[in-house]
């Protein structure tokens, strides 16, 4: 097995590209994939103020490293979700990476600033934690980006994440979600910052390999609250199909972005107005995050009452 570029001994096989790479050229390959996505989808340029959602996992740290090496100045924002050791370790890995590379990391503490943790929200809503978590991340990361004057919020969703989300949306025919899944969500005047996903051409195992090759230490543990969640199940399914037909996942998600998504452009986009509580954009009177925050506060206080 030899590297496609230099014919040295290859360390990494990328079956869907029918290619092998030595460590050096694999790192190059990942960076080129990211560069291509940024360029093809006109995500941002060197003049934009960029902030990256950082979790301390392989995807966000690999992306931070890639973007830095491509010459972009990117700040990070870590959202502490209050999921015990998992959260504090994620913060540790994020801080170390930022310090080692002279990068700025902002930290938002969900329990400290908003009064609840994800496990508490899950208990209060009696639903899977991933739902409250996704909602909180979308809300807070956008708010930080907006309030601190960033032009673009960068997210570390990889090819597997996007394919699994698409698979769920397609097999359940969630037309609304299908109409909104895109590599770039444009800014809207009412408070939504432009959001981009430069890792859509890089698979999960490739961000992991990138980190190992670059000596980046990251949180290896999966979130303890996400065990057996739907997206992970879809990922397992897609891995079975990918095993049988290498390139399946990439064809599915990239074909959607190239052609399929046009079918869902006509789906009605909801009108946004300011939330009556926090002022952030929402389709209703009170935004979903404020409703979650309020519900959790009520349940926590009634639990704590004598």
* SS3 track for 232-246: HHHHHHHHHHHHHCC
Residue 22: C-alpha distances to residues 102, 120, 154 (Å): 28, 46, 28
- As measured in angstroms, the least distance from the Cβ of 137 to its own copies is 27
Q: Which stretch binds its own copies (CB under 8 A): 18-26, 105-113, 120-128, 248-256?
A: 248-256
Both tokens of 194, joined, read 């432009």
- As measured in angstroms, the least distance from the Cβ of 176 to its own copies is 10
Q: Which stretch binds its own copies (CB under 8 A): 8-16, 105-113, 150-158, 262-270?
A: 262-270
CA distance 90 to 240: 29
Which runs of consecutive H residues, i.e. helices, occur in 148-287?
159-171, 175-180, 204-214, 230-244, 248-258
260 binds its own copies (CB under 8 A): yes
> Is-contact 136 120, C-beta < 8 A?
no
CA distance 41 to 68: 19
Residue 138: C-alpha distances to residues 144, 152, 192, 301 (Å): 10, 14, 10, 26
- Please state whether 72 falls in left (phi above 0), alpha (psi between -120 and 50) or beta: beta
Decide whether 173 or 271 has the Cβ nearer to its own copies. 173
- As measured in angstroms, the least distance from the Cβ of 248 to its own copies is 7
Decide whether 88 or 171 has the Cβ nearer to its own copies. 171
Q: Which position among 70, 175, 231, 295 is part of the footprint of its own copies (CB under 8 A)?
A: 175
Q: Which position among 18, 73, 172, 294 is part of the footprint of its own copies (CB under 8 A)?
A: 172
> Which residues from 180-199 bind its own copies, rule CB under 8 A?
none
Binding track over 208-247 against its own copies, x by CB under 8 A: -------------------------x---x--xx--xx--
> Is-contact 28 178, C-beta < 8 A?
no
Decide whether 107 or 241 has the Cβ nearer to its own copies. 241
Binding track over 142-171 against its own copies, x by CB under 8 A: ----------------------------xx
Decide whether 7 or 259 has the Cβ nearer to its own copies. 259
- Name the DSSP letter for residue 274: E
- Name the DSSP letter for residue 269: P
CA distance 16 to 242: 9
Q: Which position among 255, 273, 276, 284 is part of the footprint of its own copies (CB under 8 A)?
A: 255
Footprint of its own copies on this chain (CB under 8 A)? 170-173, 175, 178, 233, 237, 240-241, 244-245, 248, 251-252, 255-256, 258-260, 262-264, 266-267
């Amino acid at each position: 097995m030899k590297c496609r570029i230099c014919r040295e001994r290859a360390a990494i096989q990328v079956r869907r590209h029918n290619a092998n790479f030595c460590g050096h050229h694999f790192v190059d390959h990942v960076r080129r994939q990211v560069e291509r996505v940024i360029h093809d989808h006109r995500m941002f340029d060197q003049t934009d103020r960029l902030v990256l959602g950082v979790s301390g996992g392989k995807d966000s740290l690999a992306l931070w490293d890639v973007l830095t090496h491509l010459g972009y100045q990117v700040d990070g924002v870590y959202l502490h979700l209050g999921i015990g050791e998992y959260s504090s370790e994620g913060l540790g890995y994020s801080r170390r990476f930022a310090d080692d590379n002279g990068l700025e990391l902002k930290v938002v503490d969900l329990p400290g600033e908003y009064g609840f943790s994800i496990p508490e929200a899950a208990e209060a809503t009696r639903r899977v934690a991933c739902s409250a978590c996704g909602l909180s991340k979308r809300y807070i990361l956008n708010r930080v980006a907006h309030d601190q004057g960033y032009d673009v919020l960068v997210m570390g969703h990889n090819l597997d994440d996007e394919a699994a989300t698409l698979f769920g949306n397609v097999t359940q025919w969630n037309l609304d979600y299908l109409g909104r899944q895109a590599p770039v969500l444009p800014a809207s005047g009412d408070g939504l910052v432009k959001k981009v996903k430069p890792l859509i051409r890089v698979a999960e195992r490739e961000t992991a390999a990138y980190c190992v090759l670059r000596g980046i230490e990251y949180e290896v543990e999966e979130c303890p609250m996400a065990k057996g969640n739907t997206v992970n199940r879809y990922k397992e399914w897609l891995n079975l199909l990918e095993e049988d037909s290498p390139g399946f996942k990439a064809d599915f998600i990239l074909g959607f972005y190239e052609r399929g998504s046009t079918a869902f452009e006509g789906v009605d986009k909801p009108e946004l107005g300011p939330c009556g509580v926090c002022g952030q954009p929402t389709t209703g009177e009170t935004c979903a995050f404020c409703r979650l925050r309020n519900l959790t506060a009520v349940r926590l206080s009634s639990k704590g009452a004598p």
